[in-house]
Amino acid sequence: MPYPLQGYQYRSTPSIGIAPFTGTESTTVSELLKQADLAMYQAKAAGRNTLRFFDPQMQAVVTARAALETDLRAALAQDEFFLHFQPQLRQSGAIAGVEALLRWKHTQRGMVPPSDFIALAEETGLIVPLGRWVLHHACKLLASWQNDPLRRDLTMAVNVSSSQFRSPSFVDDVARVLAITGAPSGQLKLELTESVLVEDMESTIATMEALRAYGVGFSLDDFGTGYSSLSYLKRMPLDQLKIDQSFVRDVLSDPNDAAIVHTIIGLSRSLGLDVIAEGVETEEQRISLGEAGCDLYQGYLFSKPLPVADLEAFLTQALKG
Ligand code: C2E
Ligand code: MG
Ligand code: MG
């Protein structure tokens, strides 16, 4: 029931966690309370004002997460991260640049894909030092290309997650990395996702403008899967839309995906933005995208993401032709 407090009507809702105790298992009181607490946080996560029963699966998830977090913290210190680079090509087949993709080689777990640790890195705040590490190494490579006439015009795309972009030090971090590495800022392209745009538009625009003043460009990754409205797009200082690979995958078989691809390309034209398709795996997809007016391509058809030595070999081969 609502209740009055100093003239205001208050309404409290409970989130309830329940740990069943049958009296047969050898559970201690403090374990039971811990289980009930875990279940309560599940109830909160489910939107509050509800209840959840503890089940051992919850415990397993929390334990695995805690272990991953510990490992993630150690990984930065122990240099277990490295970058792969995937080429981006023009309609003509010429190489326009690369995208840096983070890899984690764990001593016991082996290769851990970004989908398994980026979200956790965001939640724990580790994404800020990790993102700085990525920027630094990507910019070092970009800078190293400046003395090579064949490589000096290539662009470097770097993924930036939402909480990294929001961190108060982000603009300074980028500026410092550019200064230290000597990378040409005009060839650095930060890939943002739509979640960044919709969260707090005014501060997003301010951060983007501050970076743009250094010459840094922006691409909108996974475009079409988020919630950005056309009025956001119009106001953002973007350079490129990146068509999400889910639309590219079925562009030949699903008329809806084909229609979406055409719409995104038309939209980018109207807004004066470049457009790149990601996840291009077949020649048929490339042709269909080309007919729709796509400028740039990235995907297994051209190359998988490569370790730096393989990338250099790929570039040498492709650029001399
Ligand atoms: P993304 O930025 O959209 O990257 C594209 C993903 O598609 C990459 O997966 C890439 O390896 C994969 N891919 C490329 N070509 C093809 C293709 O032809 N077919 C298919 N099926 N897949 C293709 P990856 O490397 O596992 O990265 C997954 C996501 O993790 C990235 O999606 C990005 O959101 C995030 N990520 C990667 N590196 C970083 C990073 O340094 N910082 C942050 N914040 N996020 C990162
Ligand atoms: Mg990306
Ligand atoms: Mg993407």
Q: Which ligand is nearest to the CA of 222?
A: 3
How far does the centroid of ligand 2 lie from the alpha carbon of residue 221, in Å? 5
Global confidence as pTM: 0.90
Domain that holds residue 41: 3-54
Unique residue bearing structure tokens 């691409």: 219
Q: Indicate if the pLDDT at residue 321 is higher than 70.
A: no
What sign for the dihedral angle of Cα 132, 134, 140, 146?
Answer: negative
Whether residue 236 is found in the same domain as residue 125: yes
Determine, yes or no, domain membership for 62.
no
Both tokens of 268, joined, read 């980018």
Residue 195: predicted pLDDT: 87
Q: How far apart are CA 204 and CA 165, in angstroms?
A: 8
Whether residue 24 is found in the same domain as residue 147: no
Output the average pLDDT for the chain: 94
Nearest-atom number in ligand 1 for the CA of 84 is: 25
Determine, yes or no, domain membership for 233.
yes
Instruction: Assess whether the C-beta atom of 219 lies below 6 angstroms from ligand 1.
Output: no
Nearest-atom number in ligand 1 for the CA of 161 is: 44
Determine, yes or no, domain membership for 64.
no
Model pLDDT for residues 88-111, shown as the tens digit of each residue:
999 999 999 999 999 999 999 899
Whether residue 7 is found in the same domain as residue 128: no
| CA-nearest residue, atom 10 of ligand 1 | 305
Whether residue 178 is found in the same domain as residue 96: yes
Residue 24: predicted pLDDT: 76
Residue 312 is which amino acid? E
Q: Number of structural domains, the chain?
A: 2
Closest C-alpha to 301, from 291, 312, 289, 309? 289
Determine, yes or no, domain membership for 63.
no
Whether residue 37 is found in the same domain as residue 158: no
**Measuring CA to CA, how many Å separate 73 from each of 89, 105, 118, 128?**
36, 13, 13, 12
Whether residue 166 is found in the same domain as residue 293: yes
Whether residue 8 is found in the same domain as residue 154: no
Unique residue bearing structure tokens 């980028």: 174
Q: How far apart are CA 211 and CA 170, in angstroms?
A: 9
Whether residue 243 is found in the same domain as residue 157: yes
Whether residue 9 is found in the same domain as residue 103: no
Whether residue 127 is found in the same domain as residue 235: yes
Determine, yes or no, domain membership for 282.
yes
Model pLDDT for residues 150-196, shown as the tens digit of each residue:
999 999 999 999 999 999 999 999 999 999 999 999 999 999 998 88
Both tokens of 253, joined, read 């078989």
Ion ligand 2 residues within 5 Å by Cβ: 159, 191, 221
Whether residue 212 is found in the same domain as residue 310: yes
Determine, yes or no, domain membership for 60.
no
Whether residue 50 is found in the same domain as residue 85: no
